[in-house]
Amino acid sequence: MIRFSLRCENEHQFESWFKDGAAYDRMAEAGLVECPTCGEARVSKALMTPAVAKAPGVKGRAEAPPALPAKPPAPPAEGPHHAAGPMPAQVVALLQRMRHEIETNCDYVGPDFAKEARRIHEGEVEARGIYGEASDEEAEALRDDGIDIARLPWVPRSDG
């Protein structure tokens, strides 16, 4: 896994994790990387400091990514419209592309998602992108322990 500092065309800065640099490139080119503040899909890598590995034999965990704010910033007034009802076709298509990228670049761990995310966070297994199922309680416990996860709407595949 690699963490990139990103910046949208509106100068909002944010960070995101990817399987590798090529996964970021594919997702950005497909318009799947969006600014969490304004929804802008034109993003680029921002200047960032490299993570330095610990010397062999040094005990302890690697530094965790910085915690996200307790409450995400509100989108601008002219931002995306969130109306109840069926999702617009463009949103469904975007979610289908996102599902394809996740299934292509990450490992499915099924109902063991919370357990596997914790093992990755604790350094018990090699870091990698995973997806699966977690209960509301499991997701909340992961977040409480500083483990960043995202819950996504899982739409049917575009290939039927």
39-78 pLDDT, tens digit each: 888 889 887 655 555 556 555 544 444 444 444 444 444 4
Q: Which percentage of the chain shows pLDDT scores above 70?
A: 75
- Tell me the whole-structure pTM to 2 decimals: 0.48
CA distance 79 to 59: 46
Angle between helices 113-121 and 136-144 (to 10 degrees): 10
User: According to the model, what pLDDT value does residue 65 have?
Assistant: 47
CA distance 121 to 145: 10
Confidence of residue 160 (pLDDT cuts 50, 70, 90): low
Burial label, 117 (beta-carbon count in 10 A; 0-12, 13-18, 19+): buried
User: Residue 45, Cβ neighbours under 10 Å: how many?
Assistant: 13
Averaging pLDDT over each range in 42-51, 75-84, 111-120, which range is the top one?
111-120
pLDDT tens per residue, range 9-42: 888 888 888 888 888 888 888 888 888 888 888 8
